[in-house]
Structure 1
Amino acid sequence: MEKRYRVCTVQSHVVSGYCGNKAATFPMQLLGFDVDILNTVEFSNHTGFPVFTGKRTPPEEIKTLIDGLNKNGLTKAWTHVLTGYIGLPETLSIIKNAVESLKEQKPDLIWVCDPVMGDNGQLYVPEAVIPLYRSMIGVADLITPNLFEAEIITDIKITSLATAKQAMAKMHYLGCPNVLITSMSLPAKDIPNGLIAEDNIMYCMGSTLLPGNAGVLKQPTQFLISFPRYSGYFTGTGDVLAAVLTARYQHALDAPASHTSETPLLTATLAAIKTLNAIIKRTFDYQQIHVSPKEIFQINSPDRLSRPASAVHRCELHIIQSKDAIDTPPDTSLVQYALV
């Protein structure tokens, strides 16, 4: 019989636009997953607009929803859990306890944890969530922090390939077998031969700690992927990446054993990055025509209230229009990888 997968995705929700669960649901459904959706916030639109309305889901309501699912035995159908923006430490603690309990019953449940805490040096959740995420790493099967979040979790400033490896080792030490730092810049001297080292290139770095024989020190398999940086305005890209990665990681586990050096994480990340690159490129091409340089400048202003709402709306990710790229990641020379 065909394997069936059901994921519970625990993230934010917006009525209009694409971020959080709105960005994650369609790609995972398209890739063959049934999707159960638990919304941690209900906003009119993402917070990059000059105005947003709505509210956070109270922690007690999250607990009530999980209790109802448990009483009907519906959580037993979950093969995967994907967590993104949660925000409140009380809610994060409830989710952590629920997933831990579920993994005790179903050890093969895969938890992909995107520890959404901040970006570009700015924390936008209470500091109380930081130790919670550190304690959750040992339960997660795959964690996908951005550069800033990886630094917060590990207390290591990542400025080079060597310090990135140190941060990876710290997250492995905390108990997670698969780590992906989703976006980072590196000095040119650290870029392996074969990868592009230019200002308009970003990198993601992954590491898998494979099981070793008793008494043998385990060495991680690590890789670096280069991909283009586009000069537009994009929100929800990390949510799309984590969602596609969740499905592609399972697909890689299901595939026949490979004789190549690719781990399931590398195979899944390559596919996910190619898909995300295609979505961003399609969105960027639309912005080039329909959003003026002046509007892009205004949108990127730190003064959110001065941003033109109509222009922000025209910058929403073209996820539905990129159905083909989600279903079949385009083969492109713009996305390259090297083992490091």
Structure 2
Amino acid sequence: MKILSIQSAVAYGHVGNSAAVFPLQRIGVEVLPVFTVNFSNHTGYGAWRGSLISPEEVKDVILGIEERGILPQIDLVLSGYQGGTGIGEVIIDAVARVKAANPSAIYACDPVMGNAKSGCFVAPEIPDLLRDRVVPVADIITPNQFELGYLTGTEPLTLADTLDSVDLARAMGPSTVLVTSVEQPDRPEGTIEMLAVDGEGAWIVRTPHLPFKANGSGDVTAALFSAHYRETGSAAVALERTASSVFDLIELTYKSGQRELQLIEAQEFYAHPRLQFAAARVR
């Protein structure tokens, strides 16, 4: 499998492509990373150095890949955080070019906007761009519960609410939706869930909730789920593998006392998921 991953890059730490590429490589996927920013570290520190890469330069890199005759070999296009509106149009164009070269290719979009605690932390124009232009051309989207609510104009709280919101999201274009960080009001204390829905049904997996914010964990989640789904065609299998790997990564990071994901130290958890969490069918 080959994945064209259009995301940010940092020198220190693990977010964007700096979070997604290595886990994908560790499960046997060849990744063609295209960078949208080149920063010293993620912006959660409040200070960073480096620069945004212009949409024109990003498009030029993708054109160079196309000129090498690689696009027919691409199985999956993956995108995450979008720093500006121009990148969205570049991604849409790249998806069209890849699918023209390989009609079986799919596009997975992580519609990064924010979360319930922090609110929206992207540029004001990005949420509407994602909702109106990018998500409709995606085959897979991986929003958290907050982002799902924005995309669909709803406030999903219960499982029934969330499933209804997913149906609205799927009506926008994507056939498969992974909802991360699902927090049902009646869930057992100290737990959190992920929900995966496609044309075959809906499955949920519950894991312990660690009191720790791990920047980049969503990027790892989106990458692993998309790759596993592309390989197996099973939302349940992809969900179980992803939840297992990501939980072990976050737990290892939490126990280490480090702020940054212990991405390298957790590498066996990607290649050989323990599958300690079973997905339950909910529809």
TM over 0.5: yes
* Residue 255 of structure 2, aligned match among 260, 278, 285: 285
Equivalences, count: 280
Q: Which residue of 2 aligns with 1:102?
A: 98
Residue 265 (structure 2) pairs with residue 326 (structure 1)? no
The offset of 1:140, in angstroms, is 1.6
Matches within 5 A, 1:66-105: 66-105=62-101
The secondary structure found in structure 2 opposite 1:240 is: helix
Indicate conservation of the 8 Å contact 2:74/2:98, yes or no.
no
Q: Which residue of 2 aligns with 1:150?
A: 148
Q: Which residue of 1 aligns with 2:220?
A: 240
The secondary structure found in structure 2 opposite 1:320 is: coil
Matches within 5 A, 1:1-340: 5-120=1-116, 122-134=119-131, 135-188=133-186, 197-210=187-200, 221-253=201-233, 264-287=234-257, 314-332=258-276, 335-340=277-282
**Equivalent residue letter for 2:40:** S
Distance 2:230 2:46 in 1: 38
Indicate conservation of the 8 Å contact 1:88/1:129, yes or no.
yes
Where structure 2 has 5 or more consecutive residues not aligned to the other structure, the ranges are none
**Equivalent residue letter for 2:264:** I
Indicate conservation of the 8 Å contact 1:93/1:132, yes or no.
no
The offset of 1:124, in angstroms, is 2.0
Q: In 2 relative to 1, CA 37–104 (structure 1 residues): closer, same or farther, beyond 3 Å?
A: same
Distance 1:63 1:113 in 2: 17
Cα RMSD after superposing both structures:
1.6
Percent of aligned pairs with the same amino acid: 30
The secondary structure found in structure 1 opposite 2:202 is: strand
The offset of 1:50, in angstroms, is 4.1
Q: In 2 relative to 1, CA 72–324 (structure 1 residues): closer, same or farther, beyond 3 Å?
A: closer
Distance 1:251 1:64 in 2: 29
Cα distance per residue 1:65-109 (max 9 Å; x no partner): 122222332323211111111221111111112212321332200
Where structure 1 has 5 or more consecutive residues not aligned to the other structure, the ranges are 189-196, 211-220, 254-263, 288-313
Distance 2:114 2:202 in 1: 25
Q: Which residue of 2 aligns with 1:218?
A: none
The offset of 1:241, in angstroms, is 0.7
**Equivalent residue letter for 1:183:** S
The runs of 4+ residues in structure 1 deviating greater than 3 Å are none
Larger radius of gyration: 1
Q: Which moved more, 1:244-253 or 1:160-169?
A: 244-253
Indicate conservation of the 8 Å contact 2:193/2:204, yes or no.
yes
The offset of 1:246, in angstroms, is 2.3
Q: Which moved more, 1:264-273 or 1:132-141?
A: 132-141
